[in-house]
Amino acid sequence: MRQRRLIVLKFGGSVLPDEASLARAAHEVYRWKREGWSVVAVVSAIDGETDARLRAALRRGDGACDHAIAAAVAGGELHSAAQFGLFLERAGIDGAVVNPGAIGLRAHGAALDATPIGLDTAPIRRLLDAGRVVVCPGYVATDEEGRWMLLGRGGSDLTALVLADALDAERCRLVKDVDGLYDTDPNAPGPAPARYDAASWDDALARDGSIIQHKAIEFAKSRRLAFELGKLNGSRPTRVGDLGLLESAPERTRQVRLALLGLGVVGAGVFESLRRLPEVEIVRVAVRDPGKHACAGIPDDLFTTDPVDAARCGADIVVELIGGTGAALDAVRAALTTGASVVTANKALIASHGEELGALASASGAGLKFSASVGGSMPLLEHLRSRPGDAPRRVRGVLNGTCNFILERVAAGAPFDDAVREAQRLGFAEADPGRDLAGLDAADKLVVLAHSLGRDDLALGDVRVEALTSESAALATNAAREGRVLRQVAELDLSGGRARAWVTLREVGPDDPLHAVRLERNAAVVGWESGAVTTVAGRGAGRWPTAESVVADVLELVRAGAPEEVAAGAGGVV
């Protein structure tokens, strides 16, 4: 049966010029994950690696058997898949790098240009059901004897299509350095060639030079398998399938000018990620003390100490990571008033001023996005909008990574103060960890959740909070002895006339989905009007998971086009 909301994404060497570019591919995976898709990612070797390995293998093994050469070359894909798995984990995306041999990806024929003959989908399905992104090295397979085989140059395309076919994926997108199918290479000099929004398999075979592996197109044609060809963060890929040829203008890449306010734990991660995105030009960085960041490799002329000035500098997007409701509020007001879109991770700001800021954004046609304010890279705000025709009635979750981390450490025998210091050192705690411990950080998040659902009848003062102290944390040790765990549980009830919310310390048993929430992770159980109950989980705190969510909001604004075209979406208002 067709697997709804399963996408196979293939990242070719043309979008992997170096290892660092795998972080960019991780953004693409997160884009789909947070929209509720299950993702299988097929990765090629880093650009140039296959040629280099082939040359080296031929030099070393004069007259070597093709399987030996295949084994040497396969290392390129295995390496990039392993690195990609690490980038996903860093971003807080649960991944699983699979071994093509162990998932039964068999091929026969010539060892360097083999034909796939089988795949065992059961292990992949189990991993997908557990919420993992499955990462599979492209291009490589094994024969019946377990020897390495290669699927021919460009064979990662074939791996992706074979996986999409076997898994009955709803979509398969080959991600390359072009935005779709062209008559000739659009990057070559000369007049711009025709570009297509849709094409048949035969059209693709006739028109495509060497962008897609032709063996892969033939396979798709034989299986009547539709697929897409597009670029990173693309919205209008060419669809190839049982389709008439449809010519259309290229998909323009929108360049945005961006001001970054704050260069703390999260800000530094966001800067590091954004500086690698060709569609983003960072035009200002506002920090309290530029001298402190002299070694960060940031050009001096980008720095300002005035966040409001940075917010008004004419940037298209302002990313606010100062935190709190002082300077951050002034700067966000200034940005939205002048029509710049804002991305923020600041839950206190949205909880206390979300309504006002939403109105400012609407008035100026700017976007206001705050996905990172709740749950790090756990896409809870998106999840709350994931069921058309249904509405969340209750949310119950672990929403503060710091408290969860401390409770786990204390349960394992660590002194309370040491656990707090460790949470600070690892970048989980707020600048003022008192807000985490008092339950106010989780309370802010509940108010943000209510606000994102259009419920402005819940203010921070309405949320009943119970603080985590060394005394209450000590209960975690007793709970652990009985197989239970102590969690800080945040609850939002929207079922009555008025929104109600609590943050309390609760023991939860092994059957509770919140029992398995480890360390700084977050999770939430959502009860829906229809009676459905769903769960969502992820890394709730820390530099990279939070930066991932911020970057996803920025990339969404880039995709949406001019700010005035930005539609209201999850984790954001206009």
Give the interface with ligand HSE as residue ranges (CB under 6 A): 376, 400-402, 428-430, 436, 441, 540-541
Residue of 176, 231, 347, 445 with catalytic role:
445
Continuous H helices in 302-367: 307-311, 327-337, 347-364
Q: Which is nearer to ligand HSE, 230 or 376 (CB)?
A: 376
Nearest residue to 435 via CA among 546, 342, 536, 352: 352
Nearer to ligand HSE, 49 or 382 (CB): 382
113 CB-near residues (< 8 Å, 6+ apart): 150, 151, 152
In angstroms, what is the minimal distance from the CB of 424 to ligand HSE?
10
Q: What is the smallest separation between the CB atom of 373 and ligand HSE, expressed in angstroms?
A: 7
Minimum Å distance from CB 231 to ligand HSE? 32
> In whole angstroms, how close is the CB of 524 to ligand HSE at the nearest point?
13
Selection from 116, 132, 128, 140 nearest residue 167 by Cα: 128
User: In angstroms, what CA-CA distances link 515 with 58, 211, 441, 456?
Assistant: 54, 48, 21, 31
What token pair was written down for 322?
């100062």
| 287 CB neighbour count, 10 Å cutoff | 23
Residue 275 to residues 14, 283, 441: CA-CA distances in angstroms? 19, 11, 30
**Greatest pairwise CA separation for the chain in angstroms:** 79
Question: For 83, how many CA atoms within 13 A lie in the half-sphere containing its CB?
Answer: 19
Q: Is the dihedral of CA 447, 544, 384, 505 positive or negative?
A: negative
DSSP-derived secondary structure for 131-155: TPEEEEESSEEE-TTS-EEEB-TTH
- In angstroms, the CA 496 to CA 333 distance is 33
CB of 24 to ligand HSE, least distance (A): 24
By C-beta, is 230 or 354 nearer to ligand HSE?
Answer: 354
Please say which residue, 438 or 494, places its beta carbon nearer to ligand HSE.
438
Smallest distance, Å, CB 428 to ligand HSE?
A: 5
Query: What stretches of 365-425 show up as alpha helix (H) in DSSP?
Result: 380-383, 401-411, 416-425
Looking at the DSSP bridge assignments, the partners of residue 465 are: 503
Catalytic residue status for 215: no
The distance of closest approach from Cβ of residue 463 to ligand HSE in the complex, given in angstroms and rounded to an integer, is 15
Residue closest to ligand HSE when measured from CB atoms = 402
Measured from the CB of residue 429, what is the shortest distance to ligand HSE in angstroms?
Answer: 5
- In single-letter form, the type of residue at position 388 comes to P
Strand, coil or helix: what is 184?
coil
Give dist(CA 240, CA 229) in Å, integer.
8
Identity of residue 406: I
Nearer Cβ to ligand HSE (325/338) = 325
Minimal distance in Å, beta carbon 451 to ligand HSE? Answer: 16
**Tokens 């994102």 -> residue:** 452
CA torsion, ordered 268, 270, 276, 282, to nearest 10 deg: -90
Sign of the CA dihedral with 174 first, then 179, 180, and 186 last = negative
Structure tokens at 317: 């997007």
Identity of the residue, 84 or 428, whose beta carbon is nearer to ligand HSE in the bound complex: 428
CA-CA distances (angstroms) from residue 309 to 60, 257, 263, 449? 61, 15, 16, 30
Residues marked active site are found at: 445
